Amino acid sequence: MSEPAERARKLDALDELGGKRVEFVLDDVIYLDGNSLGALPAVVPGRVEDVVRRQWGELRIRSWEESGWWTAPERIGDRIAPLVGAAPGQIVVGDSTSVNVFKALVGAVRMAGEGRDELLVDATTFPTDGYIAESAARLTGRTLRPVAPADLPGALGDRTAAVLLNHVDYRTGRLHDLPGLTAAVHEAGAVAVWDLCHSAGALPVGLDEYGVDLAVGCTYKYLNGGPGSPAYLYVRREWQDRFDSPLPGWNSHAEPFGMRAGYEPAPGALRGRVGTPDIVSMLALEAALDVWDGVSVDAVRAKSLALTDFFLECVAAYVPEGRVECVTPVAHGERGSQIALRCDDAGDVMKRLIERGVVGDFRAPDVLRFGFTPLYVGFADVERAARVLAQTLA
Amino acid sequence: MSEPAERARKLDALDELGGKRVEFVLDDVIYLDGNSLGALPAVVPGRVEDVVRRQWGELRIRSWEESGWWTAPERIGDRIAPLVGAAPGQIVVGDSTSVNVFKALVGAVRMAGEGRDELLVDATTFPTDGYIAESAARLTGRTLRPVAPADLPGALGDRTAAVLLNHVDYRTGRLHDLPGLTAAVHEAGAVAVWDLCHSAGALPVGLDEYGVDLAVGCTYKYLNGGPGSPAYLYVRREWQDRFDSPLPGWNSHAEPFGMRAGYEPAPGALRGRVGTPDIVSMLALEAALDVWDGVSVDAVRAKSLALTDFFLECVAAYVPEGRVECVTPVAHGERGSQIALRCDDAGDVMKRLIERGVVGDFRAPDVLRFGFTPLYVGFADVERAARVLAQTLA
């Protein structure tokens, strides 16, 4: 047994999250793409079958009340809350991340008030955030300015209404300093909006603790909610009364079944709801969240860092120097739960890796991206992935 | 056998859609709430199970390509197209109806151009349309004016940018004159947007034929897509190049995987997409649409009118005169696929009706609403429903 393989055996034996793996449907593929689509939790198929066959098929319309469909967005929001450091009553689930970014940004600009005419957006963020921010700026008459997170402090000022930042860079895996940047945004008197797509479920976020104003995130990556499962919106309790959504659908009405012509927003997080919730996908997500019972996000983070450290160690041991370049920061405080390796033929390499049973993804133009989901990825997987990578690169 | 019961037997024997009933999961409940949540098509559970267990569970990320997930919004849009009289390439599925109303209205105002400062909305429409229209008007600097459909021709003018109308009134079941009102909107140089939630799947719509500009609809009523299944957006082909969405998410980008900082909209209907499509719910809908194979919407409409006529006939025969008042128009050309009966104690009556196995719904303050889905409601159901209603009202 090679030295890294021996190390992997020991690390797996000590892994306190190792027992979680059996709660997922896995095979002999090394799945390092949970940061794109999480693996299927074993509890989900049976629950979805119940939702379809019994709740929809037998109870039909009665399920809106009897099966708890109507309250699902806030109930599931409260299940996500502890994973991102939020007290209950501040998160609702529903719509896509893009739609929630729109609600959050228009809401943020309105919170900031008339005098502030600039909207700053993380220039390195996943593109949709920038596109939607541009639309929010256009519709609210603000100017959009893309700024790299590192340059943010110098860009903030009296004109800044709101700032949209991504917690983890989807390409490089760089973790941004949420406490520090949020504090800087607040010092400038602006509203801080965070996109948690690549951090929620992989590391502690601390929304309440660090005073984040608004946040959004998807649920199909580290939260394993299923393909395109509904996203969520966090509105800090102190802001809820002033949160003025650009999508005031009937589900956010104070009295939705009053069917009144005039709009009156519901109190609390409910204000972030829009239309009829997408029940089948939403309850698949609810089932998927069961795997978090008894899991500490700190333990997840510790394992995530151990996994990515170990992957870098194995890559160093197996892959000839200079063949790939790691673009993910080495410092723990700056690293999410993925490793991005640059090489000229990344597209082709990833194709061959997948053929050999190691699934990551390619991000144009030259990045091999490997995501490490601590709930189901083990150290032996990591060693094998690095070994197959080295063979593929050879 | 009573005279109506005998008539029901004969009508069922002649029903050319009678054979469709076995394609749904039904029991001895008379389900007259398919205009709120359609019954479960029998093909759905197995297909959803495949989506969850095999496509997600085994193929995982590969399914975006191999299981056709990525193209689902436009593929399923093309399945809905013939049901609403649209040629392929003009409908995408995704998001809720409310979100699609927002895209359509902001898009419509932008199509209409700067000179037109008024947005008209059907004053009798389902409330969410009015709330969203108000937001669209506010964000685009237009004035919102609610107008009853009957008063629309007099309200149109040079100032009108766009008009949002509901094809069938959700409360009364009144069918509005889509060809005539669309022509009137066009004569005023404005853009016509229709909400098809209560008509699609129940009667011919003729979007292409009558020159409708934009349309939205849900899929969980007469299209039986499941609770909160994704809605759709129709953008007439001639307008697609000018459709400027307020929700330009990455799925609507000309090159979504190019991950480019600048937004460039995709050609065609794809421009109506926003974020990652909600696959489980969307593919449940796709399976549900199988029941439409070989079904003519004209046959559905003919049966729908026969069902509602027969219901009125049975109510007249069984219910003492004056006990309820029908608020649905008697003229076929003005009737959707539901019958709304007004009575003072409607809330209580509906509760007792449901206890007796006849499921409709109550709309505040005083309406009993009964929806008739021609694919699975038969004439004997209608006779029994009226009989139980009479007993309940006695």
Count Cβ atoms within 10 A of the Cβ of residue A322 and give its class: 0-12 exposed, 13-18 middle, 19 or more buried.
Answer: exposed
Quote the pLDDT of residue A258: 87
Mutate to test the interface with A, among B51, B142, B280 (most CBs of A within 10 A): B280
- For the record, the structure tokens of A139 come out as 């519709």
Distance CA B206, CA B320 (A): 39
pLDDT score at A116: 97
Chain A positions touching B139 (Cβ under 8 A) are 106, 139-140, 246
- CB-based contact B227 A56, cutoff 8 Å: yes
Q: Is B380 exposed, middle or buried (0-12, 13-18, 19+ CB in 10 A)?
A: middle
Q: In sequence order, what are the residues at sequence separation of 6 or more whose Cβ sits closer than 8 angstroms to the Cβ of residue A13?
A: none
Do residues B317 and B4 make contact, with C-beta atoms less than 8 angstroms apart? Answer: yes
Best B26, B28, B96 residue to mutate vs chain A (most A CBs within 10 Å): B96
- Contact residues on chain A for B228, CB-CB shorter than 8 A: 69, 275-280, 282
Q: Catalytic residue among A15, A33, A122, A195, which?
A: A195
Residue A261 pLDDT? 87
Pull the structure tokens for residue B66. 């191999």
Please report the residues numbered 254 through 273 in chain A whose beta carbons come closer than 8 angstroms to any beta carbon of chain B: 257-261, 263
Domain ranges of chain B: 3-17+295-393, 47-292
The answer to whether the CB atoms of B246 and A139 lie below 8 A apart is yes
Return the structure tokens found at B350.
């509906």
Instruction: Please tell me which of the candidates A29, A98, A257 has its beta carbon nearest to residue B247.
Output: A98
> What does the pLDDT look like over B57-116, one tens digit per residue?
999 999 999 999 999 999 999 999 999 999 999 999 999 999 999 999 999 999 998 899
* Mean of per-residue pLDDT scores for chain A: 97
* Residue A11 contacts residue A306 (beta carbons within 8 Å): yes
The predicted-structure confidence for B177-231, as pLDDT tens digits, reads as follows 999 999 999 999 999 999 999 999 999 999 999 999 999 999 999 999 999 999 9
Contact yes or no for A134 and B263 at CB 8 A: yes
Does the domain formed by A47-292 have CATH 3.40.640.10? yes
pLDDT by position in tens, chain B (length 394): 789 999 999 999 999 999 999 999 999 999 999 999 999 999 999 999 999 999 999 999 999 999 999 999 999 999 999 999 999 999 999 999 999 999 999 999 999 988 999 999 999 989 999 999 999 999 999 999 999 999 999 999 999 999 999 999 999 999 999 999 999 999 999 999 999 999 999 999 999 999 999 999 999 999 999 999 999 999 999 999 999 999 999 999 999 988 888 999 999 999 999 999 999 999 999 999 999 999 999 999 999 999 999 999 999 999 999 999 999 999 999 999 999 999 999 999 999 999 999 999 998 899 999 999 999 999 999 999 999 999 999 9
- For residue A247, list chain B residues with Cβ-Cβ distance below 8 A: 98-99, 102, 132, 135
- A53-63 pLDDT tens trace: 999 999 999 99
Q: Is B369 a catalytic residue?
A: yes
For B3-17+295-393, give the CATH class: alpha beta
What DSSP line would sit under B79-108, residue for residue? HHGGGGT--SSSEEE-S-HHHHHHHHHHHH
A10/B242 Cα distance (integer angstroms):
61
Question: Do B174 and B335 meet the contact criterion of CB atoms below 8 Å apart?
Answer: yes
Q: Do B364 and A259 touch (CB under 8 A)?
A: yes
A151 Cβ contact partners less than 8 Å away, ≥ 6 residues apart: none
The chain A residue lying nearest B249, using CA atoms, is A128
Is B263 in contact with A130 (Cβ distance < 8 A)? Answer: yes
DSSP A170-236: TTT-BBP-HHHHHHHHHHTT-EEEEE-TTTTTTS---TTTTT--EEEE-SSSTT---TT---EEEE-
Nearest-by-Cβ selection for B128 from A98, A275, A282: A275
Q: From the candidates B210, B220, B234, B311, which is the catalytic residue?
A: B220
Give this complex's ipTM: 0.97
